[in-house]
Structure 1
Amino acid sequence: MSAYKDYIRDYPTRCLALLDALDAIESQRVQLPKGLANIRKHNVTYILSLASTGIVVPWERLQKRHRSGDSVQFSESVCKLERLKGSCFIGSEVWPEQATGSWKFRKGLKKDSDVDGWALSAASMTKAKTSSCVLRVLRNALAHGNISVLGDPIDQIVFYSKEHDADDADYQLVVVSVSDFVKFLRYWIEFISVIEIPSMTFSDLDNAA
């Protein structure tokens, strides 16, 4: 099957353009056609749609288990991603700010627990929390639909993921404001723009989860 090479070749630029478009829409710098005015109400859907592809696909393509074998061909990119995963999230390339911001974390969530209740009681993320831990929760939540939201209008996003693969495993969750998550997405896109991510076939989207 042929690969849609343009998808990756200028992918970071396209992602940033989409984020810039959302910013322009939200700030009302652009005049929307009649009938599309309500798009401003769906900003979180827009953000999560972009994040689902922008985080899950690069992460999966560089895993050793991926059937493409790209982790061997693009070994330098794998090393860069592994270095990121081994760093502390606060102050890393994907969150270079020294302040924790709105990022919160909690673990020990039971399968039948109230996600929103646990999210409201989550504590500010410690500076020792690794990028691997945070990114894994985000990746798994986006891939498997383990996402909740808080506020009306929505002002926080909750991502939750199993701590390990066992059926009875507890969940851990990451809570972040919508604005900080958009900021993180920009940092993440800038990060992946400097590592060589392999091109993707259409069928790979089905294997990302």
Structure 2
Amino acid sequence: MAAYAAFTLAPVGAQNAVDYAFALIPERFHAGSEYRFEHWYETFGPIFGHAFLHTGWMHLAVNAFFLFGASRLPALRLGAVRYLVVYFWAVAVSALTFLALNWNEQSSAVGASGGVCGMITAFFLSLRPTWREALADPRVRGPLAVLFFLNVVVLGVLAEAGIVQISWEGHLGGFIGGGVAYTLLQRPAPLKPA
């Protein structure tokens, strides 16, 4: 929120420079584009930085609300460092999925929703002692599937129809990235007493 507040208070020229440097713009990743990055390491700016940019206060508030709601249990299960790794891995996979599915499009994306979707997956996987037990339980698997369907399929159809401007591709990558990272970083379940 502080990053977005600072962004909104900055002069328009600075806002445009930040958008250009950190928004996901597929054309900037094309080697032959006149807008391409000058150095390979500049690509990391948008891959992670897009999560700190939003289209408005409502966009930021919705992402913050769902991130706050989904984060407590994964943070307790993983600890601070692993939690941040899962979050930023989901952000990166979200960005790469958006870029891959919009490679030749004149589009751009900003927002933390890929990371939020990753935390939603981590939340549901952390409801049981292991992620395998979570996925085996229909009371966990069902709500996760519904949220995935709404955020990827329904919003994807609405976005493709031009009704909403949402990166369903980012949501898809976030759900997958967060789930994979959580399964790799989840601490072993405590041993059950004999």
TM-score over 0.5 (shorter chain): no
Q: Which has the higher strand share?
A: 1
The alignment's TM-score, normalised by the length of structure 1, stands at 0.25
Q: Which has the higher helix share?
A: 2
The alignment's TM-score, normalised by the length of structure 2, stands at 0.27
